[in-house]
Amino acid sequence: MIKEYKRITESTLNKAEKYLKKYNVSYEILQGNLLTVEDLKQILSLTKRGFDEIIITKQHAEEIYSLFNFEISNSTTAQLINFILKHQDLLRTPIIFNEKNLCVGYKAEALQKFIPKYGEGCTDTCGEEDD
């Protein structure tokens, strides 16, 4: 099953969801605190750069990072997982994943991996990025 994690404040359809809908791909939305330890471990197992690939940088979120008395670089994997689950606003969104594939953010070429038979059931505008 394809899952999409997004912030609870992101209630509108995002580009990734629109893309999946064009291809009639079913997915489950994980919002708020619905992301589990198992989900996060699955996501991490699919990354090439580990946590760096899924969390926002200090440059982009200095205010958020300044609220926490937590040193990410000196933490164990288990500590980081627990910290992220408590502070999910540190995650980049959307995060779309299944057992074998991962897409962080909206990247049409990466989302193609989630299409069982690429192009089946699509409309004329499939694959075109929405503005």
* Residue 12 belongs to a domain: yes
Domain that holds residue 48: 2-114
Burial of 91 (0-12, 13-18, 19+ CB in 10 A): buried
Per-position DSSP letters for 44-87, written without gaps between them: HHT-SSTHHHHB--TTT-HHHHHT----GGG--HHHHHHHHHH-
**pLDDT at position 36:** 93
**33-70 burial: b if 16+ Cβ within 10 Å, else e:** eebeeebbeebbebeeeebeebbeeeeeeeeebeeeee
* Residue 130 belongs to a domain: no
- pLDDT tens, 3-40? 998 876 665 568 888 889 998 999 999 887 789 999 99
* Residue 122 belongs to a domain: no
**pLDDT at position 9:** 67
**pLDDT at position 78:** 93
The CATH number of the domain holding residue 41 is 3.40.30.10
Quote the number of domains for the chain: 1
Q: Percent of the chain at pLDDT above 90? A: 31
* Residue 67 belongs to a domain: yes
- pLDDT tens, 32-62? 778 999 999 999 999 999 999 999 877 766 6
* Residue 126 belongs to a domain: no
Residue closest to 61 by CA, chosen among 93, 20, 37: 93
**pLDDT at position 124:** 34
Q: What is the mean pLDDT of residues 91-96?
A: 91
- Indicate if the pLDDT at residue 126 is higher than 70: no
